[in-house]
Amino acid sequence: PVAFGLLVLALTGGTVAGVRLGPKVLPSLSRRRLLALALTFTGVALLATGLVPDMATMLLTAALAGTGAGVAANTGHTLLDLEAEEYRRPRLTDHLHAVVRAVIGLAAVAAPLLAAAIGPHRVESGKFVFAHGGAAFVLMLVGALLLPVAALVLAKTDDRSGVPLRHDLRDAVRGDEPTAAPAANGFFIALEGGDGAGKSTQAEALAEWIRAKGHEVVLTREPGATPVGKRLRSILLDVSSAGLSHRAEALLYAADRAEHVDTVVRPALERGAVVISDRYIDSSVAYQGAGRDLSPTEVARISRWATNGLVPHLTVLLDVSPETARERFTEAPDRLESEPAEFHARVRSGFLTLAASDPGRYLVVDAGQEPEAVTTVVRHRLDQMLPLSEAELKAREEARRKAEEDARRRAEEEAARKAEEERLERERQEELARLRAEEEERQRRELEEAQRR
């Protein structure tokens, strides 16, 4: 029937749209919370699809259900990939996806059989008439089952425990992120990650490699890259500041960042340098937003204002589990390093959420491997993005000129060779013509001699 075809089109079309829109839906909201919300939305839409008798309304709710399912699929795919990286088991993702596909395949086979088994039912009570087929009951059943699944997902995977979901959802819906863009000159690299991820080691290795390519490199950090920043750093990281309020902490980081960008980062970028910063805005969003009970959207907005919208060209997220990172500490932990494991787990999840929302600007690297391997991965990305230095441009120009000179010399040599070949050919033709003329003259004389005789 046409209605069945339209229903399938609405569901599949909505799913495709949801998969494509997944990364853009509430980008500041935790992906784990978004997964639970998408499942809830899909369940409610499927319930409505099975309940409503009107065809037009049913097609609308089916399209909404497909969209919610697509968002959930995209978000779940991203989270599965991140979890597989965490445990360094690259085949884990393939196994999990295979299980999901198998479940979907079994459901596609079982759903029509279940619909046939249920069959049509009609309930009348006065003017109220409820008449639906088995398919409608199956849709309602699936929708009803998704609701407890969504609650279970939120309970088991929530990375913002203690922060009401309605607050996060309200902040994510309230407004977009402030306008931000990379600098027109220079190249800005930010190294992000939890404490003990190896950011300082990678920053020094990358600075040495980029300098060797002929660039001016400014290696900096947050907090503490300026005289004012050093004083703020002593306040922020000193264990004696344990009672510092969360809002004051976020504002102090923003103050350090404002001074850092105005006096160090922007001047270096304007003269064309490559700036490598150990931490930037994402650290505040992850630590004070995801780690604390503050709104990540508000923390990001404060930092955007403090930096006048300056974002890195590339953000490298060095991802490592808090347990592995803690084993690397060689000194007494500072105030943030002394936070409990749950805090650092939320921070890590906050970083991964940021990376998932804008994969084009982020490079997520497993920082649990050897530092040389991490550096190799980052270099590979920078080889594709980093602009050429003046020395490299001069070398390329010199190579181009040399190639042109070689090509010109080869062309001249080829032209001279062809000219010589043409001259030799002309001489050969002239010699042949002379020999033919002499032969004709000899034959003429012999003929005349024969006639006289």
Query: H or E segment at 229?
Result: helix 227-237
Nearest to 225 by CA among 273, 259, 189, 186: 259
How high is the pLDDT of residue 90?
57
Angstrom distance (rounded) from CA 114 to CA 140 = 12
By the 8 A CB rule, do 285 and 222 touch? no
Sorted by where each starts, the structural domains of the chain and their CATH numbers stand as 2-158 (1.20.1250.20), 187-386 (3.40.50.300)
* Encoded amino acid at 239, one letter: V
CA distance 452 to 303: 120
Per the confidence metrics, is the pTM higher than 0.85? no
State how far the Cα of 137 lies from the Cα of 50, in Å rounded to an integer: 6
Which residues fall within 8 angstroms of residue 157, CB to CB, at 6 or more apart? Answer: 32, 35, 36, 79
Q: Which structure tokens are listed for 228? A: 């004012």
Q: Which residues contact 286 (CB under 8 A, 6 or more apart)?
A: 192, 347, 348, 350, 351, 354
For strands 217-221 and 274-278, give the pairing: parallel
Alpha helices in 158-226 (DSSP H): 165-174, 199-212
User: How many Å apart are CA 449 and CA 453, to the nearest integer?
Assistant: 6
Spatial separation of the C-alpha atoms in residues 342 and 163, rounded to whole Å: 13
Q: Please, which residues bridge with residue 181 across strands?
A: 310
Q: Cα dist. 220→17, 92, 229, 268, 277 in Å?
A: 42, 38, 11, 11, 5
pLDDT at 86: 47
Per-residue pLDDT of the chain (453 residues; tens, 9 = 90+): 788 889 889 989 999 999 998 888 887 788 888 999 999 999 999 999 988 888 889 899 999 999 999 999 988 888 777 665 544 455 666 777 788 889 888 988 998 899 899 888 887 777 766 777 888 889 899 999 999 999 999 988 887 776 778 877 887 777 545 456 677 889 999 999 998 889 999 999 999 999 998 899 999 999 999 999 999 998 888 878 777 888 999 999 999 999 999 999 999 999 999 999 999 999 999 999 888 878 888 888 899 889 988 999 999 999 988 888 888 877 777 888 888 888 998 899 889 988 888 888 899 999 988 999 999 999 999 988 888 777 777 888 888 889 989 999 999 999 999 999 999 999 999 999 999 999 989 898 888 888 888
Cβ contact 217:207 at 8 Å: yes
